[in-house]
Structure 1
């Protein structure tokens, strides 16, 4: 892979932490993601199953990981199956991992080829009492595509109907929510690459530039710094486009007097960063734009200060809502009477700030975690308030990535310009 090698101790430690919370005589089965088809013989780019990567570091298709910590034969306690290369694959796709290379990446000693799976699996499955199978249990998941994991669950139930099945996802959510030091380093690297892209576009943006040209500038900078590219579909939204929360067409011309909302960030070694900035296309905010920008920035700073150990999701978002109410009143967008008459299920401020303030961040942009769990050291959240005034064609959002520690929090994007004066200064140098 283009990213620098990751210390295999991360994956060894992740497997150890998982083993500690498994039921006795258990077996964990994880499959790699599929290559998703496009048309004819085309495929989309490969994205590894995040849980499999978290436990092995293997970034290759057709991989299977078995963990059976209490198996009587020590060599079967951690087993990795890989796609075996051959001359045809080497010519058309390039070499696949050798067994020695996979051992170096993962720290797993016992490795077989995928075509050997059935024979080896029979030696492992019949001493297991509980089998953990994996599914995508993210609260936002709405995919209609059948995954390799879901196909495997169907096959397993047919072939082994009397085994006790358990859900792996809750355990992985618990573990992945707390980032290890190496993970934080990788996320910081993604943030650093994102900064390089943002600094580059500040010199590039001007009236007449196309939104997709800005996207291209960012991609150039990300890839040249060992990222695969964007951590998610980039949003480059000028003027009224910024009021569409998931605007991804990136096809319009940036006009003099508009504000450009950029929700764009790099990945690194499969770890995501997530940045949003709002900048004036001509390099100077108008008075009204600056009023709204400063209001969002004040909410951002208040919200960021509440991302600390011991706080909890719903209470945090309730408090951010109260701060946003005050700012929207100051901007003349809502009144105290609007608040008095509001529907508690959809507060008045939601007209101009309809989304949440934070989400978990890690191997996935909307990473896994339990919203009912109090914040703990090692958790990483976005902080991203915004105000969207459709009648004015103005949308402003600001977003950084925040690491919670035992002594407050650390802003992983603190080195990226966010103050209005700093943005204007950098654009006009």
Structure 2
């Protein structure tokens, strides 16, 4: 791993919190992800399933975590199953976790090799009444591929049909959405790496550069600061490309007078950052571009103030819509008649700002969190309003990552990343 070791107290505490919410006499099982094939003998880079990482810190394929807090044998209350390592594997693939290193990372004392799984599970299931399976119930999920977790669940339910079944996901949705201080520091590290990439790009951009060259500048800076990759597919959208919300081709030349919308974030230790900045190719905003830019920035700042404990996500978006409507009226993009005659299900402002303002962020860029429940301290949200103007040839979005705090003053993890229009111009010139 490129990242520094994480204190195992995080994972010990996460398991403790999860097990406290399990039903009596129950077992929970969590699998690592597959290594997914591309073609021939090529594969995609391995990405650990965030749930097993959250609960164990194990960042390796073919790993299984079993939790059984009321097991009659105390040594079986937390178990890791790992792929057995040997000298041959170390030579061809690199060193894998030993039992000792797995304990150091996770705080789990009982570690078996995978070949012992069925034998140990047979004994554990004879003591248990309920089995927790781990299904993906994220509100944005659209998974067509059968995962390693799916295959294991299928085997488990066929092998032990008399056991009751419960779901891990509702517990994890609540636990993962509220961050530990160690997690907040890891997200801050990801944001700090993103800042370095952005400052590098400010000195690089000029008329004639290509979007993919800007993408390359970011990943160069990210990797040299111990990030392994972008947290998500980067958007480098110059000119009218910015009006395509998920533009990822990044293959056009940046022209003088245009703006570049950059939705980019580094990951660090599997934790995400999620930043959007919009900058002028020539180093100066036109008067109209700056007018729209400042309106978007104002909406972002006002929206951020509402991210406090007790806020309901849906109500928050209604209030943000009112602020955006006021700004669009001031820009002459809407008039009073547009607002008076608007469809309540698709307000007038949606013509220019059609996406949501905030989502949970953490181990996943669109992280776990139950949107119908009130916001809590130590949740992390993006704040990302935008105004999109195809007829004028540009779109502007600005985005920061913000921690909800108990005292009601949200903490901006991207406070050091330049955002004011005048500061952007100063740094580019």
What's the TM-score once normalised by structure 1's chain length?
0.99
CA shift, 1:202, in A, is 0.2
Q: 2:420 — aligned with what?
A: 419
Match of 2:222, SS state, is helix
Give yes or no for the alignment of 1:222 onto 2:222. yes
Q: 2:109 — aligned with what?
A: 109
- Counterparts of 2:125 and 2:198, CA distance in 1: 50
Deviations 1:251-283 (A, max 9, x none): 000000000000001000000000000000000
Deviations 1:147-198 (A, max 9, x none): 1111122222211111100110000001001100000000000011000000
CA shift, 1:85, in A, is 1.5
What pairs with 1:329-408 in structure 2 (closer than 5 Å)?
Answer: 329-407=329-407, 408=409
Q: 2:40 — aligned with what?
A: 40
What pairs with 1:23-34 in structure 2 (closer than 5 Å)?
Answer: 23-34=23-34
- Counterparts of 2:393 and 2:153, CA distance in 1: 48
Match of 1:122, SS state, is helix
- Counterparts of 2:128 and 2:339, CA distance in 1: 58
Give yes or no for the alignment of 1:191 onto 2:223. no
Match of 1:339, SS state, is helix
Q: 1:82 — aligned with what?
A: 82
Match of 1:308, SS state, is coil
- Counterparts of 1:220 and 1:288, CA distance in 2: 33
CA shift, 1:125, in A, is 1.3
Gaps of 5+ in 1: none
What pairs with 1:2-401 in structure 2 (closer than 5 Å)?
Answer: 2-401=2-401
Match of 2:215, SS state, is helix
CA shift, 1:359, in A, is 0.2
Deviations 1:5-40 (A, max 9, x none): 000000000000111111110100000001111111
CA shift, 1:231, in A, is 0.4
Match of 1:395, SS state, is strand
CA shift, 1:329, in A, is 1.2
Match of 1:199, SS state, is helix
- Counterparts of 2:152 and 2:348, CA distance in 1: 46
Match of 2:97, SS state, is coil
CA shift, 1:87, in A, is 3.2
Match of 1:16, SS state, is helix
CA shift, 1:88, in A, is 2.9
Gaps of 5+ in 2: none
Shifted more, 147-156 versus 315-324: the winner is: 147-156
What's the TM-score once normalised by structure 2's chain length?
0.99
Match of 1:185, SS state, is helix
- Counterparts of 1:341 and 1:409, CA distance in 2: 35
CA shift, 1:138, in A, is 0.5
Deviations 1:40-68 (A, max 9, x none): 11110111110100000000000000000
CA shift, 1:293, in A, is 0.1
CA shift, 1:86, in A, is 2.6
Deviations 1:321-363 (A, max 9, x none): 0011111111111222112222211111111101000000000
